[in-house]
Structure 1
Amino acid sequence: MDDRIKRHAEVLVDWSARIEAGDDVVLAVSPGAHELAVATAELLGERGANLVTTRSSGEIARAYLSAHDDEFDADPAHELALYENADAYLSLGGGHNTSATADVPAERRQAHAKAREGVREARMDTDWVSTVHPTRSLAQQAGMAYEEYQEFVYDAVLRDWDSLADEMDRMKDLLDEGSEVRLVSANTDLTMSIDERTAVNSCATVAYDSHNLPSGEVFTAPYGTTGHVEFDVPMTIHGKRVRDVSLTFEDGEVIEYDAGQNADVIGDVLDTDAGARRLGELGIGMNRGIDRFTDNILFDEKMGDTVHLALGRAYDANMPDGVAGNDSAVHVDLITDVSEDSRLEIDGETVQRNGRFRWEEGFE
């Protein structure tokens, strides 16, 4: 087995999920992630954890959803119990086809998501971590040779996370102390309130309320959004490529939307529920080990020189105690490249210009 796979598993189990003896762990394995699952299972055994393994497949999901009607039972007890009794949930992505569910009707997908809100909440109450094993399908989606893609993935995952966490604390402090964020570029002028929100230093460990590996972003939960924003990074959403999305906000809600390709996908997202028309997240990418776009949100949203906004659900970690954030059955990230002709302001002070933070060389 490639030594990098073993190191990936070690980061996942020890740094990210912080697994301890006696922890009840659910390991969701995509078809292409078998080797990473084997390495992870071995470590879980060594740590004395209790393991249940499930299979996570786009083709299986498509078969089930395509054959079903739109009347899904709410929060099936057997599925709910699995997560309610778990300490950790580890998701190993890497399927055969990144567009496996592209032809599932949007209404059915929405109905299924809404029927499992309790299941989703129970899963997110665990120490959950999502990562991917480099596969040929992901390499193809990224437009890279397989070996090249492997190098890319491990450059992003096998980081000095302690050092990056220290740098990201600078941005967290700025957001925690701020009241308003403004994002400005050639086709964007968007203002968001962040007062009384707590930013998360997402350095790939549940100890920091961070649940992605790789990670490398600082995020918060904005509200009161006003203005216009354009997202120039192409993305695959529900199996369909979406390009050049534009959103116009008024009083915190999307009032107009468009896209250069598959605008109907964005419309379907917005129609999921009332919360889907509001932002649940403002994220600032800071992982410079990710040096190109790959059409995979797990990597692209963490890339330095990017800012992303998510329609839908806000994370509890950003909210004051006893205060609920934006609620929705969806959380869909959209990314904009801020490497040129752009600036990010907090309370009128520019903290990032053309992708460079004010403490970095090259900031002007």
Structure 2
Amino acid sequence: MDQRVREHADVLVDWSARIDAGDDVVVAVSEGSHDLAVAVCEALGERGANYVAVYDSDEIERAYRRAHDGEFDEDPGFELSLYEEADAVLRLGRGRNTAAQADVAGETRQAHRTARTGIREARMDTDWVSTVHPTRSLAQQAGMSVEAYREFVYDAVLRDWESLADEMAKTKELLDEGSEVRIETGEQAVEMRIDGRTAVNSAASVAYDSHNLPSGEVFTAPYATEGEITFDVPMTVNSRRVRDATLTFEDGEVVDVSAAQGEQALRDVLDTDPGARRLGELGIGMNRGIDRVTDNILFDEKMGDTVHLAVGRSYGACLPDGETGNESAVHTDLICDVSEDSRILVDGEVIQQNGKFRWEEGFESA
């Protein structure tokens, strides 16, 4: 086994999930992540934790959803109890075919997700962390050789997370103190309120309210969104390719959507429930170790020189006590390149222009 697989497991268990002796851990193992699962469970054993493994397969899920009549039972108790009793959930992706569920009807996806809202909430109440093992399917999706893709993944995962956390704290402070964010890209602009919210310094650890490995973003829960923005970073949504998607917001809701490719995939997401038409997240990518688009949201949304907006569910870590924020069965991220002809402003002050933050060399405000 590549020694980096064990290093990946150690970072996941120790830095990201902060597993202690006696913790009850669900390990969700995808079709392509067997080696990482072996290393993770070895690490859990060394630390005296308990585990149960579940098989997380898009192909199995496709077979089930296509065969089902669409009237899904709400939050089956046996599955719900697993996550209610867990201390942590470690999801190890990804499968053999990244488009395995492309032919599952949009209404079936919506019905299944809605029926499992309680299960999803129970899982997210744990110290959950998602990561990926560098599989052949992901390398193919990224347009890279397997060897090059492995180097890319481990460069993003095995890094000095404490140093990155210190840098991202600067952006967190600006968002925490701000009331309004404006994103300008070319001739377009979108504005949103952020007052009363708390930004998350997403440094790949539950200690930072961060649940992805790799990570490297600062995100918050916006509201009252107005304007128009085009997401020019291609991505896959529900196993379907989406390119150059434009969303128009009025009174906080998406009122118009278009895309050069995959428009119906976005419409299916937006039609899931009322909350799917509102923003749940504004994220600013700050991980410059991720230097190329790979069509994997876990990496792409963290990439330096990008921002992303997610329609749907907002994260409780960004909200005041007692406030639920935007509720939805979906949380779908869309990414915009801000490396050129772009600005991010907080309360009218430019904090980033053409991909450079105001504390970085080469920053010029215009």
State the TM-score bracket (shorter-chain normalisation).
Answer: over 0.9
Give the CA deviation at 1:185. Answer: 1.1
User: Helix, strand or coil: the match of 1:173?
Assistant: helix
Give the CA deviation at 1:186. Answer: 0.8
Aligned to 1:285: 285
Q: Distance in 2 between matches of 1:240 and 1:265?
A: 7
User: Helix, strand or coil: the match of 2:260?
Assistant: coil
Q: Distance in 2 between matches of 1:60 and 1:52?
A: 19
User: Helix, strand or coil: the match of 1:243?
Assistant: strand
1:123-157 per-residue CA deviation (whole Å, 9 max, x = no partner) reads 00000000000001000000001000000000000
Matched, 1:46 2:46: yes
Q: Distance in 1 between matches of 2:49 and 2:362?
A: 47
Q: Distance in 1 between matches of 2:263 and 2:109?
A: 17
Q: How does 1:96-135 map to 2 (within 5 A)?
A: 96-135=96-135
Aligned to 2:317: 317
- TM-score between the two structures when normalised by the length of structure 1: 1.00
1:278-307 per-residue CA deviation (whole Å, 9 max, x = no partner) reads 000000000000000000000000000000
1:37-65 per-residue CA deviation (whole Å, 9 max, x = no partner) reads 00000000010001100000110000000
Assess if the C-alpha contact under 8 Å between 1:187 and 1:229 holds in 2: no
Give the CA deviation at 1:14. Answer: 0.1
Aligned to 2:200: 200
1:193-214 per-residue CA deviation (whole Å, 9 max, x = no partner) reads 0000000000000001000000
Q: Distance in 2 between matches of 1:291 and 1:153?
A: 11
Give the CA deviation at 1:309. Answer: 0.1
Q: How does 1:24-35 map to 2 (within 5 A)?
A: 24-35=24-35
Q: Distance in 2 between matches of 1:113 and 1:181?
A: 31
Q: What percent identity do the matched residue pairs reach?
A: 71
Q: How does 1:57-136 map to 2 (within 5 A)?
A: 57-136=57-136
Q: Partner letter of residue 226 of structure 2? A: T
Q: Distance in 2 between matches of 1:134 and 1:199?
A: 30
Q: Distance in 2 between matches of 1:56 and 1:74?
A: 20
Q: How does 1:208-287 map to 2 (within 5 A)?
A: 208-287=208-287
Give the CA deviation at 1:262. Answer: 1.5
Aligned to 1:170: 170
User: Helix, strand or coil: the match of 1:182?
Assistant: strand
Q: Distance in 2 between matches of 1:53 and 1:247?
A: 39
1:65-100 per-residue CA deviation (whole Å, 9 max, x = no partner) reads 010011000000000000000000000002100000
Give the CA deviation at 1:324. Answer: 1.0
Q: Partner letter of residue 336 of structure 1? A: C
Give the CA deviation at 1:329. Answer: 0.3
Give the CA deviation at 1:187. Answer: 4.1
1:198-254 per-residue CA deviation (whole Å, 9 max, x = no partner) reads 000000000010000000000000000000010000011111100000000001000
Aligned to 1:10: 10
Change in 2 beyond 3 A, CA 1:187/1:58: farther
Q: Partner letter of residue 237 of structure 2? A: I
Q: What is the total number of aligned residue pairs between the two structures? A: 364
Aligned to 2:339: 339
User: Helix, strand or coil: the match of 1:275?
Assistant: helix
Q: Distance in 1 between matches of 2:321 and 2:208?
A: 17
Give the CA deviation at 1:362. Answer: 1.1
Assess if the C-alpha contact under 8 Å between 1:187 and 1:230 holds in 2: no
- TM-score between the two structures when normalised by the length of structure 2: 0.99
Q: Partner letter of residue 331 of structure 1? A: H
Q: Distance in 2 between matches of 1:262 and 1:169?
A: 36
